[in-house]
Structure 1
Amino acid sequence: MDTAHDILETIEMIEEYRLDIRTVTMGISLLDCADPDPAVACQKIYDRIVGLGGELVPVAHGIETELGIPIINKRVTVTPIALVAAASHTEDYTCFAQVLDRAAATIGVDFVGGFSALVQKSRTSSDLKLINSLPHAMESTELVCASVNIGSSKAGINMSAVAQMGETIREVAARTGGMGCAKLVVFCNAVGDNPFMAGGFHGIEEGDCCINVGVSGPGVVKRALDKLPDASFGQMAETIKKAAFKVTRMGQLVGTMAAERLGVPFGIVDLSLAPTAAIGDSVAEILQTMGVDRVGGHGTTAALALLNDAVKKGGLMACSHVGGLSGSFIPVSEDAAMVEAARNGSLTLDKLEAMTAICSVGLDMIAIPGDTPASTIAAMIADEAAIGMMNNKTTAVRVVPVPGKSVGDEIDFGGLLGSAPVMAVNPSSAERLTRRGGRLPAPVHSFRT
């Protein structure tokens, strides 16, 4: 920010274009907290999160005030609990979710992620305990987010785990009225430095503690494109790159300041375009500004490809430490224009699946009928995992079966999660496919070194 023009432009981006820092997330390793006695392990976990994260929210508020930049969420991620709890003599891991919830409430963060298991190749007894604990854990906590990684480009897809997660999502939905599923993600190629929820966890390759930042900025990109209604594809790409550069630089500034003040290393900036339900803060509106009549129509995937690539190129020029998911999110309930497209039928699950070959993550925040069979949910997970595995990218499924709701009914998730119509799923049975079990082999290109 070297000139008066840059300063004024940044103020305009904040006040008019909804520029914000979507999240400042502290990653905390819990590997030293393992103990045979679950009560002892839980106390260690609580003490470590409160000890390291106690100043996270005050520091973030201070940066907000100092720079005038909204920081929407303050979050914590931890080591996958299936690894931490493995030494403990207990069959039910709900106590670990509950202590994460208590610690998160104590330090005042919005969410804590990491009630997670990594089962892309096989499942340990600890992994199974965690997955079996998910329904009770999601029912008995408010701030805890959970994830299970069921596949990777190197290992293939653990189809036994996929089938189990279909059943688990159904049970979580039944116990929580569907809301618990908004905090549960099933991944392929999950990354360990993701600051966004619900899929964030602190990877085993990470250090003791770090600060990761997730930026936003769909409004900034849209307003920049609004000024060029007749631009060529090349001109649109250059415009998006410049906007992404500015947004990412802001994220790096905030992350560096937070890390220095908390006395921990700065990790990465995740430069994903993360929409909200507010009008003007929408990835779908960007695609429509680019020329798509309604998101979901023909041409949507091509426009999304240009957007995602240009965002990455601009962000990589702005910051040497880019990580996480970094792209364009398409969570249906959290994007006002996508909600409208789903309501009028132009956006379907089939089209969303095609778009996930391009965007960050996958089928995200989609309400489906409460009576959707577990095997159908498992098959949706398998399809998304196959896209991720074959294309060496992160994909995920966060669907919400809403008990008692049918296609066309509305569900309000509240807050940033927004609302959405219940979408139709393919009625064909996937029972014979998903009950086979075993592992879907990794693709041939996984042997590249």
Structure 2
Amino acid sequence: MINLFEVVETNEMITKENLDVRTITLGINLLDCIDSDLKKLMEKIYNKIYEAAKDLVKTGEEISREFGIPIVNKRISLTPIALVGGSACKSTEDFVSIARMLDQVARQVGVNFIGGYSALVSKGMTGADELLIRSIPKALSCTERVCSSVNLGSTKTGINMDAVRLMGKIIKETARYTEEQDSLGCAKLVVFCNAPDDNPFMAGAFHGVTEADKIINVGVSGPGVVKNAISKVRGESFEVLCETIKKTAFKVTRVGQLVAQEASERLKVPFGIVDLSLAPTPAIGDSVADILCEIGLEYAGAPGTTAALALLNDQVKKGGVMASSYVGGLSGAFIPVSEDQGMIDAVKAGALTLEKLESMTCVCSVGLDMIAIPGDTKETTISGIIADEMAIGMVNQKTTAVRVIPVVGKGVGETVEFGGLLGHAPIMPVNSFSCDAFVSREGRIPAPIHSFKN
């Protein structure tokens, strides 16, 4: 049982070290809303979301007040809309109308984001999948809270290179559609390999078809807490360092477990998972990069960075799984550039490049995340970056993702300001050599030999 003593024990973490519960995410199954009539479909979806989520924000605020735990975001994840809208949507505009409706109901219930404007195309695309994907630029430009994701590959199926090629084009179009907001639409769009069904973090959250009708998932955070803990063992052995990270991750995860149980009980919705990812914010002292520096690096990106990140990720998971029986989602260290002041400093110092970030994704929680690149980056280059990251996930049997932002009108050396949790980012250089002939090949990259384990 979790008790108030454990919450009191973490009070200093909350007040001085930026510990928070990053999100309570309510997952909602929409498969029973499917209808061939678009108007009826949208009415069913709106009503189901509103009824399920009308008390979500209020409940989160009550828990936050009662236990003194900051709960930063309240979010909704939905069954991938390409599945739900397939019967009714005959054009991209039909899907865009669903996106507008989702934005409206999200605003009505007061959540920060609503995820699930998604398609799962790791092996092939249906007509509905392709329509939804092609609708993404307009959908994200005319909505404020809708987030979109596309799963392009998996260890079991390989990589759908037709979809990878298309997503390079879609990301560029999304950037152009939202160029007056510094291409902000791309910050709400992520592509995955091995996307988890129970991820509470945006922009990649969707409600998997293996999930219950409704579910509560919680995502915790706490880079500042971990950094402060390991600063007290500076110069000690790796064994001491690892034990310190594990114990700290245990305490952080217990806070998330408490919030998840309370939200589940009060909303009368089953508890799903706690995602114990270390998710940084732009706040000073709330940085994964700063943890790496505390471990012993001058900057994130210095030699030894990948090893230090692997150590951090593994110890966080080891500590977290002892604190909750239901750990899931992504659960590890995020390395988004724009949301992590330490990462931004490393880029500006020349210590951190796109290539080094890619190598770090082999051992971290997600992938190339919130990276601003020049607005004139070619579609095929973006597709090549995506293909590389998908290959890392496919071969290593892990989740990887790409959320890059080609900022229209800006180039290397300039900075883009997104605001809020999205922070700001320096425009990073991209390898300019061509991969056009590779990306233009049709079909898919086959699954690796070690995927055949039936």
Please give the range of the TM-score, normalised by the shorter of the 2 chains.
over 0.9
Q: For residues 383 and 236 of structure 1, what CA distance do their matches in structure 2 show?
A: 32
Q: Quickly say closer, same or farther: Cα 1:9–1:435, change in 2 above 3 A.
A: same
Q: Post-superposition shift, 1:301?
A: 0.4
TM-score (norm 1): 0.99
Counterpart code for 2:64 = E
Partner of 1:29: 29
Q: Post-superposition shift, 1:90?
A: 2.4
**Which residues in structure 2 correspond to 1:328-367 (within 5 Å)?**
328-367=333-372
**Which residues in structure 2 correspond to 1:406-417 (within 5 Å)?**
406-417=411-422
Paired residue secondary structure (1:264): coil
Query: What is the aligned counterpart of 1:128 among 127, 130, 147?
Result: 130
Q: Does 1:195 align with 2:190?
A: no
| Cα pair 2:2 2:254 within 8 Å, conserved | no
Q: Quickly say closer, same or farther: Cα 1:303–1:39, change in 2 above 3 A.
A: same
TM-score (norm 2): 0.98
CA RMSD of superposed structures (Å): 1.1
Q: Post-superposition shift, 1:89?
A: 4.3
**Which residues in structure 2 correspond to 1:88-237 (within 5 Å)?**
88-92=88-92, 93-177=95-179, 178-237=183-242
Paired residue secondary structure (2:409): coil
Q: For residues 7 and 345 of structure 1, what CA distance do their matches in structure 2 show?
A: 41
Partner of 1:291: 296
Q: Post-superposition shift, 1:344?
A: 1.5
Counterpart code for 1:141 = T
Q: Post-superposition shift, 1:136?
A: 0.9
Q: Post-superposition shift, 1:9?
A: 3.0
Q: Identify the range of structure 1 (225-234 vs 110-119) with the bigger mean alpha-carbon deviation.
A: 225-234
Q: For residues 367 and 216 of structure 1, what CA distance do their matches in structure 2 show?
A: 23
Number of aligned pairs?
Answer: 449
Counterpart code for 2:78 = V
Q: For residues 4 and 397 of structure 1, what CA distance do their matches in structure 2 show?
A: 39
| Cα pair 2:7 2:67 within 8 Å, conserved | no
Partner of 1:431: 436
Q: For residues 109 and 209 of structure 2, what CA distance do their matches in structure 1 show?
A: 23
Paired residue secondary structure (1:280): coil
Q: Does 1:279 align with 2:281?
A: no
Q: For residues 162 and 90 of structure 2, what CA distance do their matches in structure 1 show?
A: 23
Q: For residues 83 and 146 of structure 2, what CA distance do their matches in structure 1 show?
A: 17
| Cα pair 2:246 2:316 within 8 Å, conserved | yes
Gaps of 5+ in 1: none
Paired residue secondary structure (2:190): strand
Q: For residues 7 and 321 of structure 2, what CA distance do their matches in structure 1 show?
A: 22
Q: For residues 11 and 120 of structure 1, what CA distance do their matches in structure 2 show?
A: 44
Q: Post-superposition shift, 1:6?
A: 4.8
| Cα pair 2:102 2:146 within 8 Å, conserved | yes
Q: For residues 114 and 160 of structure 1, what CA distance do their matches in structure 2 show?
A: 21
Q: For residues 272 and 407 of structure 2, what CA distance do their matches in structure 1 show?
A: 37
Gaps of 5+ in 2: none
> What is the aligned-residue identity percentage?
59
Q: For residues 284 and 309 of structure 1, what CA distance do their matches in structure 2 show?
A: 16
Q: Post-superposition shift, 1:39?
A: 1.2
Paired residue secondary structure (1:195): coil
Q: Identify the range of structure 1 (58-67 vs 84-93) with the bigger mean alpha-carbon deviation.
A: 84-93
Q: For residues 343 and 235 of structure 1, what CA distance do their matches in structure 2 show?
A: 32
